[in-house]
A and B are shown apart, each in its own frame.
Chain A
Amino acid sequence: MQNKRFISFADAVKDIADGSSIMIGGFGPGTPHNLTRALYETTSARDLTLILNSAGTGSRADLITPANFIDERRARKVIMAFTASTHPSNRSKMEELIESGEVDSELVPQGSLAERIRAGGAGIPAFYTPTGVGTQTAEGKEHREFNGRMHVMEYALNADYAFVRAKKCDEFGNLVFQGSERNFNPIMAMAAKTTIVEVEEIVPIGSIDPNQVHLSGIYVQRIVQIPPDGIFHVARVGPTAV
């Protein structure tokens, strides 16, 4: 069996080429901070398309977030549910680059974002949802009425890579999440060609009860254990998820 274990985050992200698309999990908990930092610090990857809920802020000295890639124009395009802070007082450089169109952006209702990712992994090319009908997010999209109600068509999302964070996995890559850290992680793992997981604990194959596996290792290509000096949890700052 292929060895999925990588010795470092840098090693696990080093082949990510310019122009790649990357899904980044997390909603507060479950954010793969170590992989994001390694991509930022140890590669020169640019022209990236980033698919994620929200990008955090580029202004935290202690943390690299997807916003750093936007601020430095290493991201060509972002697909997110928040491109602006929920508080107008918290305006960021990222927000300005997106408003001015310097970084291409697609703002998606969060449930449609999650379902587009799920559909991508499940082989469903598009679906209809009532969410967004009658709003700016539905403009230019195909509409169709079902059961007397108008729906809008949303396309599936796939990516070259997914960055995922989990609590525990075995050496095959079967994942177990803890609490709210599950969020986008399993569906992104299913929708990407290469899924890279940062994980607190790696155990031998056979030591996780199959009934307790949240995501099969068939969707996982690379695993890296977070070392003692890695980032485990990040204190919440500001009104939205980092």
Chain B
Amino acid sequence: MGERLTRDMMAARITAEFQDGWIANLGVGMPTMCSDYLPAEKSIILHSENGLIGYGRNATVEEATPYVVNAGVLPVMLTPHAAVVHHADAFAVIRGGHLDVGVLGAYEVAMNGDLANWKTDPKKRGGGIGGAMDIAACAKRIFVLMEHQTRDGRPRLLKRCNLPLTAPGVVSLVMTDLGLFEAAGDHFVVHETAPGFTLEEIQAVTEAPLIAAPNMREVQLS
């Protein structure tokens, strides 16, 4: 058996997919860790639902102010090109198609790109949608960062989602502690694997069929 990726490794690897000039929104939880791994050679604009356009890394205790926080209400640093807008304008960035990527956490992702991340019990009223439905429906692409299995070991990369959807057919890449996967309709393509894991070992804990990419390799962290 190989070694599962840490949350930091997962965040670092998915962030390496960001292209120069992208406007990105990082969801609450693990995705916010991406702000610590932004590639120095690329200019990435981070956007938050509460109106920051152009923030950077987390603020230290000394730097933190109660007035500048990301969507997870964590103090962050504004970049020199930052602007602050109100909530409706912050979502105009999203709905208007200006967001190049949204990185979201998830409970389940299906091989057709369906995303479920706002409710763990389909029968109950209520839930925690936040900005995820707008981002999922309207960003140019959606990356998911999540653990490969639930705490009790059930798979999260599925043929079909069991939980209520956040948006249908929107996920392109999924980074888990077992590798980097691409939703491809009737299967996931495996681009990279956690060190020491075979495709068969990963398939054994994945419901959806997996197909190795022609150049499948172990996860590369620069």
Does A105 count as interface, using CB distance less than 8 angstroms?
yes
User: What is the CA–CA distance of A177 and B86 in the complex, to the nearest angstrom?
Assistant: 10
At the interface, yes or no: A13 with Cβ under 8 Å from chain B? no
A27, A95, A180: which has the most chain B beta carbons within 10 Å?
A180
A residues 198-242 touching B (CB-CB < 8 Å): 214, 233, 236, 239-242
Stretch in B33-41, B162-170, B177-185 touching the partner = B162-170
B51 at the interface (CB under 8 A from A): yes
* Docked complex Cα distance between A29 and B78 (Å): 15
Q: Which of A60-83 contact B (CB under 8 A)?
A: 81-83
Say yes or no for A173: interface residue by CB 8 A criterion: no
Q: Which chain B residues border A131 with CB–CB below 8 Å?
A: 95, 133-134, 137-138
Name the contact of B65 in the complex, choosing from A136, A179, A184 (C-beta under 8 A): A179
- Closest beta carbon of chain A to B105's beta carbon, Å: 9
B95 touches A81 (CB 8 A): no
Partner of B129, one of A29, A82, A114, A177: A82
A29 touches B166 (CB 8 A): no
CA separation between A18 and B52, bound complex, in Å?
37
Asked if A84 is an interface residue, CB under 8 A from chain B, the answer is yes
Looking at the assembled complex, report how far the CB atom of A230 sits from the nearest CB atom of chain B, in whole angstroms: 14
Instruction: Determine the chain B residues whose CB is within 8 A of the CB of A185 once the complex forms.
Output: 86
A99 within 8 A of B: yes
Does A86 count as interface, using CB distance less than 8 angstroms?
yes
**Residues of chain A with a CB closer than 8 A to B130's CB:** 81-82, 86, 110, 240
Q: Which residues of A contact B138 (CB under 8 A)?
A: 111, 130-131
User: Please, what's the 1-or-0 string for A79-98, where 1 marks a CB less than 8 Å from any CB in chain B?
Assistant: 00111111010000001001
Residues of chain B lying within 8 A (CB to CB) of residue A167 = 67
Is B66 within 8 A of A137, CB to CB? no
Chain B residues with CB under 8 A of A110: 49, 87, 91, 129-131, 133-134
Interface mask (A163-179 → B, CB under 8 Å = 1, otherwise 0): 00001000000000111
- Complex A-B: 26 CB contacts under 8 Å: A27-B49, A29-B67, A84-B126, A85-B128, A86-B128, A98-B126, A105-B125, A110-B91, A114-B88, A131-B133, A132-B137, A135-B164, A135-B168, A137-B129, A179-B67, A180-B50, A180-B84, A182-B51, A182-B86, A182-B87, A183-B50, A184-B86, A184-B87, A187-B87, A240-B73, A240-B128
Check B86 against A186 for contact (C-beta < 8 Å). Answer: yes
Q: CB of A109 within 8 A of chain B?
A: yes
Alpha-carbon gap, A105 to B127, bound state (A): 11
> Would you list which residues of chain B between 68 and 103 have a CB under 8 Å from chain A?
68-69, 71-74, 78, 84-88, 90-91, 94-95
Q: Is A158 in contact with chain B by the CB < 8 A criterion?
A: no
Bound-complex Cα distance A134 to B133 (A): 11
State the 3 A-B residue pairs at the shortest beta-carbon distance, nearest first.
A111-B91, A111-B134, A179-B67
A115: chain B residues at CB < 8 Å are 88, 91, 95
The reply on B120 being an interface residue by CB < 8 A is: yes
Residue pair A239, B168 in contact (C-beta under 8 Å): no
The smallest C-beta distance from A137 to any residue of chain B, in angstroms, reads: 7
Which of B66, B126, B168 gathers most chain A CB within 10 Å? B126
Q: Does A24 contact B (CB under 8 A)?
A: no
> Taking the nearest CB of chain A, how far is it from the CB of B173, in angstroms?
21
Residues on B with beta carbons closer than 8 Å to the beta carbon of A177: 84
Find B51's partner among A134, A137, A180, A233 (CB 8 Å cutoff).
Answer: A180
Other-chain residue from A81, A183, A239, A242 in contact with B86 (beta carbon distance below 8 A)? A183
Q: Does B28 sit at the interface, judged by CB under 8 A?
A: yes
Inside 8 A of B29's CB, which chain A residues have their CB? 86, 239
CA distance A123 to B154 in the complex (A): 49
| Chain A residue with Cβ nearest B120 | A88
- CA separation between A180 and B55, bound complex, in Å? 11
- With A28-B73, A178-B67, A179-B68 already in contact, the answer to whether A108 and B91 are too (CB < 8 A) is no
In Å, the complex CA distance between A86 and B104 comes to: 13
Contacts of B49 in A (CB 8 A): 27, 110-111
Q: Is the CB–CB distance between B50 and A27 below 8 Å?
A: yes
